[in-house]
Structure 1
Amino acid sequence: MPIWEIVDRRWKLQLHSPLQAAAAFLNPSIFYNPNFKIDLRMRNGFQDTMIKMATTNQDKIEITKEHPIYINAQGALGTEFAIMGRTLNSPGDWWAGYGYEIPTLQRVAIKILSQPCSSHWCRWNWSTFESVHTKKRNRAELEKFNDLLFAHCNLWLQAITQSHDGKCKPVIYDEIDVSSEWPTEMEPFDPSLG
């Protein structure tokens, strides 16, 4: 039981974020499930995430217009294939295939639903962020800070690639086919390398 309590405690910390609420809201297999009930925390999380992800006022206007189309499953979202695909396809694939009539919400949904599930990869990024963004450097220009963080992350990824003796294949995001299957690991994960 103590182990399950630790697991539950960690899950609760991760599952109650605005991004998690937006992911559940935009996941068609969850949202369109007849047993699914939208609560206030989920609505607020979705709204908070949309405000952060909509970079322009025009995007905010478009998301506001497109939101009811998704909620009511209108147009391509309500076709027989889209309804079957809610549970058969991955959420990102579903949005890529059927969300074309609401392109702004489609773009945001694919970004959110294509995030990795583990927070492991974020941990080193935040520790770098915290070490650079101290009180001594709080006046540094944002662009210089972003460049420094970008260089640090790329050097870290390069070190990982070299430690695997070139067995890692670089990810080229422009070549990723959103409609293809989710990538899988070629070899078992070794936590000591993490």
Structure 2
Amino acid sequence: MEKRKHLYWTPCAAHCIDLILEKLGDLPQHKNALTKAKKLSCAWAKKAEGKEIRKIVLNDRFWQSVLYAITTTRPLVHVLRMVDAEKKPAMGFIYNAMDEAKEMIASNLGGSEGSFREIWNIIDDRWELQLHRHLHAAGYYLNPQYQYAENKSTNPEIKLGLYHCMDRLISDATERSNADLQLVPFRNKEGFFGLQQAKDTIAKRSPVEWWIQFGDGTPELQRFAVKVLGLTCSSSGCERNWSTYNQVYTKRRNRLSTLRMNSLVYIMYNRRLRDKNLKKKGLMDDEDPLLCDDVASDDEWFVDDEVEVMPSEL
């Protein structure tokens, strides 16, 4: 990073949220519910031990603990779905999403600080010390959905993060100065930003698409905004690329030649890219990246007997 000072390194948001949820699962009130829930799905439930299972199911305290677990983790799961999805980059949304998740957890627990402080501390340990970066604050500032919201945050760290990113990502001093000056018409809805179409499509377009469409009057700021808002917060895309290879390379298929193996991975991954583009155009239903049932099956690509493929045929 010392050699490439214009680059940013950020942790994987999905992994950090996973660690938060894992830590929450270690809390006594959560651990007790999880331990009992695992008993409900064990093989002994059909035998004599099933009587104990019956007691658990009929115990109101068990279901109260389940409800507590759901109300304290659901907001974080929503953030996890957002950063793990491929429909639009999450860089412009994660800063606000984490704040809203914390507020939702506090509201679910009645708003008393004593009821949610322990959970907030677990979240803050990961967010403040590991995950939160200037890029997230800059993404919040440049996202028109938040910049033009009546209840937008005025936390000084947002503007500080914005200028840190400008110093690092815009190497040319003149271009950086122009981008800084162009923040004024963006903030005041002047020029293209004041068009009725710009106001009407803030929530209908992704932040990147919105800037491409209406940022022509502020070219330096437009380039900077597209660069920041187009970034991903998670490495899940890379993991899914490896999972494509793992789906192909199983014990049942390990006799495939290297050439054919690479061809199958190439076909499967590009089919997913095609499906992603179709979803953007509204031609396919949205899929949940956290549900395995939404992942397309790859069995159609394989047969028991391998047919040797010559390089010229690929």
* TM-score higher than 0.5: yes
Q: Matched residue of 2:182: which SS?
A: helix
Does residue 1:33 correspond to 2:134, yes or no? no
Cα distance in structure 1, aligned partners of 2:237 and 2:148: 31
Aligned to 2:176: 60
Does residue 1:77 correspond to 2:193, yes or no? yes
Aligned to 1:188: 295
Long gaps (5+) in structure 1: 124-155, 171-176, 190-194
Cα distance in structure 1, aligned partners of 2:142 and 2:281: 19
Aligned CA-pair RMSD: 3.9
Aligned to 1:169: 270
Long gaps (5+) in structure 2: 1-20, 26-72, 74-118, 247-260, 272-276, 297-314
Aligned in 2, Cα 1:33/1:164: closer, same or farther, shift over 3 Å?
farther
Shift of residue 164 of structure 1? 6.0
Aligned to 1:103: 219
Cα distance in structure 2, aligned partners of 1:104 and 1:20: 20
Cα distance in structure 1, aligned partners of 2:269 and 2:229: 24
Write the letter of the residue equivalent to 1:73.
Answer: K
Cα distance in structure 1, aligned partners of 2:222 and 2:151: 24
Report the TM-score, using the length of structure 2 for normalisation.
0.40
**Are the aligned partners of 2:180 and 2:221 in contact in 1 as well (CA < 8 Å)?**
no
Aligned to 1:19: 135
Q: Deviations over 1:108-144 (max 9, x none)?
A: 1111111113145699xxxxxxxxxxxxxxxxxxxxx
Write the letter of the residue equivalent to 2:269.
Answer: C
Report how many aligned residue pairs link the two structures. Answer: 152
**Greater gyration radius:** 2
Cα distance in structure 2, aligned partners of 1:188 and 1:45: 37
Aligned in 2, Cα 1:47/1:15: closer, same or farther, shift over 3 Å?
same
Aligned to 1:43: 159
Shift of residue 60 of structure 1? 1.0
Report the TM-score, using the length of structure 1 for normalisation.
0.63
Cα distance in structure 2, aligned partners of 1:14 and 1:181: 36
Q: Deviations over 1:57-90 (max 9, x none)?
A: 1211211221111111110001111011112211
Percent identity of the aligned residues?
A: 28
Does residue 1:92 correspond to 2:92, yes or no? no
Write the letter of the residue equivalent to 1:100.
Answer: D
Name whichever of 87-96 and 10-19 sits farther off. 10-19
Cα distance in structure 1, aligned partners of 2:214 and 2:133: 27
